Amino acid sequence: MKRVRISELFRDYDKLRKGRVTRTQFKSILSAQNFQLGDEEFEFLANKYQTNDPERFFQYTAFVASMDKAFTTYGIDKDPTVRVAA
């Protein structure tokens, strides 16, 4: 109920809904939510989720999917009787 809905924050910056934002936007989103990352940690995440195009955007859809996988079960809304491990 009180979880961070980080995908909504990214969608605010992604006006064309392409699933990507710039590295600067990514850093701004994390800073706005008080996520404190060092330069090394930021570069690791930015490189891990970067797109293959020359602009090297940050692919937030994959990032959000990884975060959601750690905290919930994908598709739980379609099966309300499923049990989720603590």
Q: What is the pLDDT of residues 34-79, one digit of tens each?
A: 888 899 999 999 999 999 988 889 999 999 888 877 767 666 777 7
**30 Cβ contact list (under 8 Å, min separation 6):** 37, 42
Domain range enclosing 61:
6-71
Supply the pLDDT for residue 3. Answer: 62
59 lies in some domain: yes
57 lies in some domain: yes
Supply the pLDDT for residue 35. Answer: 84
CATH assignment of the domain containing 64: 1.10.238.10
Buried b (16+ CB within 10 A) or exposed e, 2-15: eeeebbebbeebbe
Supply the pLDDT for residue 41. Answer: 93
14 lies in some domain: yes
Q: What's the pTM? A: 0.73
Provide the number of structural domains found in the chain.
1
